[in-house]
Homo-oligomer: A and B are copies of this chain.
Amino acid sequence: MINNFPEASAAEIDEVMQRSLLAFHQYKNISSEDRALFLETIANEIEFLGDALIDQAAAETNLPAARLIGERGRTTSQLRMFAAMLREGSWVEASIDTAIPDKNPPKPDLRKLLIPLGPVVVFGASNFPFAYSTAGGDTASALAVGCPVVVKAHPAHAKTSQMVFEAIETAIAKVKTPKYVFQHLHGSSFETGKLIVQHDATAAVGFTGSFAGGKALYDYAAARKNPIPVFSEMGSINPVVLLPDTLKINAASVAKQYAASITLGMGQFCTNPGLLIAVECDGLNSFIETLSDEIEKVIPANMLHAGIHSAYYKKMHDALAQKGVALIKQSSAKTEQLQALPTVATVSGEIFLQNSLLHEEVFGPYSLLVVCKNVDELIEVWKSVRGQLTTSLMGTDKDFTDHHSLIQVAETIAGRIVFNNVPTGVEVCPSMMHGGPFPASTDSRFSAVGIDSVKRWVRPVCYQNCPQQLLPVELQNDNPKNIWRLLNNNWTRDNVK
């Protein structure tokens, strides 16, 4: 039982996935306008839940109301963003090559656009009960493009998830949408995840959470008779490179900025900066001093749940116990319940390179400062941590002139490169990339955030010599939706003449 909800049985999973497949064949054919209205109605219904939803989420996650209200806003904004994307319409990447009958051999008329893959299964995150969960980005992007969604509720906020599910059910009843276009399952075992991912009707999977969970789902999908795409976003330690000139000039301000980022939301973000890397230089001591002072000041708050709280202490203590690791500061505040003490430590580049345990994410308000002998060692340390969601460079113009090649290194490591800023805070906009080389995500070619996140759930289909009246509206000669199309290899909104 998960908060009074029984673990989904194999029979229930089968029934839900079969229904999802049936819903797919109806849902993919409803108009973009109807899908847009559906997404907006979901946003409205979530808002109609009012304080009850915030209270429930706060009770289950320990997150403060202000943060949850902000996250709810992000969630409803995302739903409305995808509705706007549907109304604009160019997301289908329509491409038209008109026939050239007198070519040898004759060139046929070819027209292509993106269509939905089928039922998408979403595994939400414990740390974002709204924006990366039940009606979060994965769900919104999949519903937008015509895929029905089955959410496996996160057991850490199962009641919150149930409330959001019921809001979506209300939305389904209010608009022209097939009944089973969104369904909800409870479960906490890997076996349940395996049954859902390996069900024949499942076409793709979205996951946000731990490496262990995300990689298991990837393996289940790859082991299917017909493998399916899995996009798992599995977190990151988000290395930050502190360059010498900025440490000389801006040590205190950089330290304050990063102390805030490390402890924001008790460090429970996949973009939390868990690793700081610098070369021994003037200003480094000053940086450490300010960082220490700032960490001391942070008021501890509860972590999401007991499991995350105990994992934080275990992993943090394991890291601190490693040879050569020295504590910089742990807040000395008294803690109770699930409160966590922000902690920063330091280690030499040489020892860091020898000890891969130090490369692992410590999920929580923790960061490790690696002090390197020189830039070559810094690069080695930086590269040793493998794929990342983000990496940050703190530097002056002089730093970037002196160390221009570092940007190349950053590109090989991360999906997003942050300059003189903190990685926490993931703006929802078309240019955002939230994903990265393995193990940050299972496929670095896709993003979990922004309108491009729909690309995970669609595939191109080409119509050869198709009669006009049988073509999807986006590919007909007239361009009634006035969308951007690649017409004979030129971008245009013109009709086909």
Closest B residue to A421 by beta carbon equals B465
Residue of B nearest to A221 (CB): B222
Q: Are B417 and A466 in contact (CB under 8 A)?
A: yes
B427 and A107 form a contact (CB under 8 A)? yes
Q: List 20 A-B contacts (CB under 8 A).
A: A90-B491, A95-B431, A96-B431, A108-B425, A110-B431, A112-B431, A112-B433, A227-B442, A407-B470, A416-B461, A417-B461, A417-B463, A419-B465, A420-B465, A421-B465, A430-B489, A432-B462, A437-B459, A484-B491, A491-B491
Contact A427 B97 (CB under 8 A): yes
Give per-residue flags for A96-131: 1 if the beta carbon is below 8 A from chain B beta carbons, else 0.
110000000101101110010100000000000000
Q: Which residue of B lies closest to A113 (CB)?
A: B431
Task: Give the docked Cα–Cα distance between A438 and B435 (Å).
Answer: 25
In the complex, which residues of chain B have a beta carbon less than 8 angstroms from the beta carbon of A137? none
- Whether B430 contacts A97 by the Cβ 8 Å rule is yes
Candidate in A387, A458, A486 with the most chain B CB atoms within 10 angstroms = A486
Contact present for B415 and A461 (CB under 8 Å): yes
Nearest residue (CB) in B for A489 is: B430
| Given A427-B108, A470-B407: A229 touches B419 (CB 8 Å cut-off) | no
CA–CA, A435 and B386, complex, Å = 31
User: Residue of B at shortest CB range from A449?
Assistant: B462
Complex-state Cα separation, A386 to B224, whole angstroms? 14
- 6 further A-B pairs in the complex, CB-CB below 8 A; given A97-B430, A229-B443: A218-B227, A229-B445, A418-B465, A419-B466, A419-B467, A431-B462
Q: List the B side residues contacting A445 at CB < 8 Å.
A: 117, 229, 455-456, 458-460
A447 within 8 A of B: yes
**Using Cβ atoms and an 8 Å threshold, which residues of chain B touch A439?**
226
Question: Which of A408, A427, A432 has the most chain B CB atoms inside 10 A of its CB?
Answer: A427
Q: A222-B227, A227-B218, A491-B484 are in contact. Are A418 and B464 (CB under 8 A)?
A: yes
* Count of A interface residues, CB-CB < 8 Å: 72
CA distance in complex: A466, B416 (Å)? 11
Tallying the copies of this chain within the complex gives 2
With an 8 A cutoff between CB atoms, is A25 at the interface?
Answer: yes
Asked if A25 and B408 sit within 8 Å, CB to CB, the answer is yes
**Which residues of chain B are near A313, meaning CB under 8 Å?**
none
User: How far apart are the CA atoms of A438 and B430 in the complex, in Å?
Assistant: 30
A236 to B421, CA, bound (A): 50
> B115–A421 contact, CB under 8 A?
no
> A414 within 8 Å of B by Cβ?
yes
| Given contacts A108-B427, A110-B432, A433-B112, A117 and B444 within 8 Å (CB-CB) | yes
A429 shortest CB reach to chain B, Å: 4
A417 touches B462 (CB 8 A): yes
Determine the distance from Cα of A455 to Cα of B95 in the docked complex, in whole angstroms: 15
Residues B408 and A489 in contact, CB atoms below 8 Å apart: no
Q: Is A34 an interface residue (CB 8 A)?
A: no
